[in-house]
Amino acid sequence: MSVGLFLNVVVEGLTTGLVYGLMALGLSVIFGVVRIVNFAHGEFAVVGMYAAFLLFQAFGLDPIYAAVPIAAMFFFLGYVLQRLVINPFIGRPEHEQFILLVSVAMIVLNLLLMTFGPDGRPINLPYALDSYLVGPLIIDKARLMISVAALAMTLALFAFFRFTATGTAIRACADNLTGAAVVGLDVKRLYAYTCGIGLACVGAAGAMMITIVDVAPTLAPGYTLLAFIIVIIGGLGSLSGALVGGVLIGVCEAVTGYLFEPSMKSMFSFLLLILVLTFRPQGLMGERR
Amino acid sequence: MTLLVVEAVTKRFRGLTAVDAVSFSVEAGEIFAVIGPNGAGKTTLFSLIAGALAPDSGTITLAGEPINGLRPDQIALRGIGRTFQVVRPFPKMTVFDNLMVGSLLRHSATSVARNRADAILERLGLMTQRSKLASELTLPDRKRLEVARALATEPKVLLLDEVMAGLRPTEIDNMVAILRTINAESGTTIVLIEHVMRAVMALAGRVLVLHHGALVAEGRPDEIVRHTEVIRSYLGTEVLG
Amino acid sequence: MNKKRLLPESNGVVENAGAVWLALLAFAVLAIVPLFASRYALSVLILVFYFAYVGQAWNIMMGLAGQLSLGHALYVGLGAYIPALLWLHLEVSPLIGVFAGMGAAMLVAAVIGWLGFRFGIEGVYFALLTIAFSEVARVAVDHIPFAGGSGGLFLPVQAADKASILDLDGGPLLFYYVTLTLAAAATALVAWLTRSRHGYIWRAIREDPQAAEALGINLFAAKMKVILLSAAMTSIAGLVNAFYYRNLFPAQSFDMARSLELIIAPIIGGLGTALGPVIGAFLLTPVGEALIAITRLLGLDAPGTKGVGYGLILLAMIFLKPDGIWPWLVRKFRIRDRP
């Protein structure tokens, strides 16, 4: 395989990986702060995809711009979800939380199946065939745009968590829950914000994803697992880890998909997960538990 | 004969020396108390003996065999039973089932283990609670359950971590009586961490005082109570009357 | 949170002779059902017994020992493919091939157990580990040509009058009794295990591993035993799967949806109890069938209606009766099932 071709494959993985990273960031925030195993993560991502799909079909709205209102909608959704559904389950045994979210996932997934059917739906972006040439690289305009968008959102989130009072409060909850409560932080409300943020990331990532993948309900479980793989490999509790993990997995998928077969790419991600769980469970950038 | 020997055992946690070259030995059949202010390293010491932690240096010997570095279950098999400072009964199992887990260590036949468990229930006055879930018990009963469960493993040495804490005076007397009986009838060696001096004075043949992880004093209870350093660091001058 | 939620340690074993007689009676009744039941009813019951059986296998590992595996489809798949391939290519009777399937399942379980328990991978991380193995298997088998690949593996059927037990080739009647026997045996096993030495050890680990260790329990050994047992039992379900449906697809056999499917009955019925998986299976399977029938009646018939139904039921259960139905029944009718 020529260097040029290899580079193109890597860049393709990189761009996908940035969107994966954004999606995983949502999970990292939810899993890391609220400590809920969100097994419905992929389902929400696909809902985001369909939302962007519908907006495009109805108004011709570019999915990348649609990501913004979708993110806002999903923030609200996450907030409500946490308050009503997830809150009662905090502190309950892990398998109960798990069943809760599996049932939510089952409902969402099957509702999507009922509404849209199992077939993949593409969207026809006006600039779908545009690309830029940089040396040996051929970069699709769509991919470039979603990379920028994903990166921008991620950086905005970093800034939020680093520099705002609410963001710092949320980080405090993740670090030391009792301490946070003791100093008077409204933990329940912060949890709700966290789930809102988490789902906003997922929704936005879904909207961006539709520019490169045909949307279908069956993508959902795969995305859930992908998000978990990325979060664990990147390191729980590390926002940059989610980004790095996302890119790593994106590139890994692209390269292995090319070297072997596209249908085999998930296998390598899972093998990577097994390795990380065994030898470095805190992930690449997480702290030792 | 000397049953348990702790020799120059040290444990550090990232710069904090929790246990500092502590040495002592416990004779078979005696009741030995470990006292000291909070944070003195007493529970850490127990965890080291029971195998939940490994010492950074030093040795721990039980009946002549070194046990430091062994797993907790291996050490339990060799004859050390322990209770935890914050009691840890198996919440969704009955009192009887809790004891069964202990008695099954020495008797793999369930019928025999059943009889042994019932015998201990009787002895510790928990028969009436037999079918209750551990999570349904009051604190004093939970403490007795914790002791009973450790006893069910037929230990040579019983490590009791603040088993009197939270008990009212009558309950304390009750527990003291139980422990005395166990020690007298079965010859079980008892090492107890205690803050309740009344229990220490009533039970212990010898007392060890820890402060900042280091051994401050060792001797009979009446000697310890008069020891200046012990008074300064822990007991307070009121004890002199 | 309401305090009454504290689960009584009900073992689903009502400890008296009456319970044993009741169980034998139930078995006898079920044994003669084929005399007057329709083919359709038989097929539904086969599903019930199947899910009760595989639910028990998972129940031993999760309900008794508290080890969450979400990749049990892996063992179903191995237990399906290996005997099927042995029969197809080497004409090995499935009654012998089942042991090869079991062996493979136990081998893989040993690897998973060793990785998880040696390296302290617990809780949701362990669950993800199990999923990872199952997914790797799915993709791998998808690309193995002699296993049929994604096109699938097909087991030819003999003529209808030549039913053969050795080849596990028979209609619903044969599999009715096979699955009934498996489910009954598994339920009896769980009831016995709960009060056995191993059951006590596993339950202690489930409750509090550190306290269990302080009582002399070797955590690694005990956990390995339970994962091996669970895997071996689950692989037999795979055998039934393969020879009853007579076709296998990696996407079907190893899929995470399969793993999730088999845990629903024990959870709804009552995790950690002997009757839980049975009750769960008896409730869920007919409900599933009813959902399909209703949606067809209403003209909806969209793929997914059954899934939404199941999801809602699961959601309702986890909110209202998180311990499952059997513990609730025990409480409500004060069924005495403790020593």
All residues of chain C having their beta carbon less than 8 Å from the beta carbon of residue B96 are 339
Helices (H) and strands (E) in chain C, counts: 14, 2
**Hey, is the C-beta of B76 within 8 angstroms of any chain C C-beta?**
yes
Q: Which are the contacts of B187, defined by CB distance < 8 A and separation ≥ 6?
A: B28, B29
Read off φ and ψ for residue C170, nearest 5 degrees: -165, 170
Interface test with C, best of B73, B80, B106, B157 (most C CBs within 10 A): B73
Distance CA C177, CA B20 (A): 68
Q: Which domain holds residue A56?
A: 25-219
Residue of A nearest to C130 (CA): A274
pLDDT of residue C146: 76
Of A95, A221, A261, the CB nearest to C68: A95
* pLDDT tens, residue order, chain A (289 aa): 678 888 889 999 999 999 999 999 999 999 888 888 899 999 999 999 999 999 999 998 888 899 999 999 999 999 999 999 999 988 888 888 888 999 999 999 999 998 898 888 888 888 777 888 888 788 888 888 999 999 999 999 999 988 998 888 888 888 777 777 788 788 888 999 999 999 999 999 999 999 999 999 989 999 999 999 999 999 887 888 999 999 999 999 999 988 888 888 889 999 999 999 888 888 888 765 4
Domains within chain B, CATH numbers bracketed? 2-88+157-240 (3.40.50.300)
CA distance B137 to chain C (A): 13
CB-side neighbour CA atoms (13 Å) of C22: 9
Q: Write out chain B residues lying below 8 Å of C207, CB-based.
A: 90-93
How far is residue B128 CA from its own chain's centroid? Answer: 25
Annotate B84-116 with b (16+ C-beta within 10 A) or e (fewer). beebbbbbbbbbbbbbbbbbbbebeebeebbeb
Gap between the Cα atoms of C326 and C281, Å rounded: 12
- CB-based contact, B144 to chain C, within 8 Å: no
Q: pLDDT tens-digit profile of B70-115? A: 999 999 999 999 999 999 999 999 999 999 999 999 999 989 999 9
How far is C-alpha A4 from the chain's CA centre?
29
Subunits that touch chain A (at least 3 Cβ pairs < 8 angstroms)? C
What is the pLDDT at residue C98? 95
Residue C12's pLDDT is 38
Backbone φ and ψ for B160, nearest 5 degrees, come out as -110, 120
Query: C124: which chain A residues are within 8 Å (Cβ-Cβ)?
Result: 37, 94, 98
Contact C128 A95 (CB under 8 A): no
Counting Cα atoms < 13 Å in the Cβ hemisphere of C338 gives 20
User: Which residues touch C20 (CB under 8 Å, ≥6 apart)?
Assistant: none
Residue B77's SS3 state is helix
Chain A contacts of C133, Cβ < 8 Å? Answer: 270, 274
pLDDT computed for residue C171 by the predictor: 79
Beta pairing, strands B206-211 & B31-35: parallel
| Residue C256: closest C-alpha in chain A | A221
Q: B27 at the C interface (CB within 8 A)?
A: no
Say which of B94, B97, B149 has its CB closest to residue C215: B149
Instruction: Give how many domains chain A has, as a whole number.
Output: 1
Burial of C181 (0-12, 13-18, 19+ CB in 10 A): middle
Packing angle of the helix pair A165-175, A141-163 (nearest 10 deg): 80
For chain C, the domains span 37-332
Residue A116 CB neighbours (<10 A): 19
Return the pLDDT at C15. Answer: 55
Q: Which residues of C touch B156 (CB under 8 A)?
A: none
Contacts of C151 (CB under 8 A, 6+ apart): none
The pLDDT tens digits of the residues spanning C2-42 come to 333 333 344 434 456 777 888 889 999 999 988 888 888 99
Partner residue opposite A232 with nearest CB, options C120, C123, C128: C128
Q: How many CB atoms lie within 10 A of CB A4?
A: 12
CB contact under 8 A, C135 and A267: yes
- Return the axis-axis angle of helices C256-269 and C123-142, rounded to nearest 10°: 140
CA distance B42 to chain C (A): 17
CB contact under 8 A, A107 and C140: no
What number is the ipTM of this complex? 0.92
Q: Which residues of C touch B62 (CB under 8 A)?
A: none
A/B Cβ contact: 3+ pairs below 8 Å = no
Cβ distance of C339 and B104 shorter than 8 Å: no
Q: What are phi and psi for residue C164, nearest 5 degrees?
A: -140, 125
A and C touching (3 or more beta-carbon pairs closer than 8 Å)? yes
Of C129, C300, C307, the CB nearest to A106: C307
- Residue B88 · residue B146 · CB < 8 Å: yes
Taking only the tens of pLDDT, chain B with its 241 residues reads 999 999 999 999 988 899 999 999 999 999 999 999 888 899 999 999 999 999 999 999 999 999 989 999 999 999 999 999 999 999 999 999 999 999 999 999 989 999 999 999 998 989 999 999 999 999 999 999 999 999 999 999 999 999 999 899 999 999 999 999 999 999 999 999 998 988 999 999 999 999 999 998 999 998 888 887 777 777 776 666 5
Which residues face C144 on adjacent strands? Answer: none
Position A229 in a domain: no
How far does C143 lie from chain A, in Å, by closest CA? 8
Nearest-CA neighbor of C82 among C248, C266, C309? C248
Q: What pLDDT does residue A288 have?
A: 57
pTM of the prediction? 0.91
**Which parts of chain C have pLDDT scores under 70?**
1-16, 158-166, 301-302, 336-339
Partner residue facing C197 (CB), from B52, B104, B133: B104
For chains A and C, CB pairs below 8 A equal: 120
Per-residue pLDDT of C242-293, as tens digits, reads 999 888 888 888 988 899 889 989 999 999 999 999 999 999 888 888 888 8
Select from A119, A278, A282, A288 the residue whose CB has the most chain C CBs within 10 Å, as the one to mutate to test that interface. Answer: A278
Instruction: Give pLDDT, residue C124.
Output: 85
Contact A277 C135 (CB under 8 A): no
For residue C135, list chain A residues with Cβ-Cβ distance below 8 A.
225, 266-267, 270
Q: Quick count: other Cβ atoms within 10 Å of Cβ B68? A: 20
pLDDT score at C172: 86
A183 is a domain residue: yes
Which residues make Cβ contacts (< 8 Å) with residue A189, sequence separation at least 6? none
Residues A185-213 as b or e (16 or more Cβ within 10 Å = b): bebeebbbbbbbbbbbbbbbbbbbbbbeb
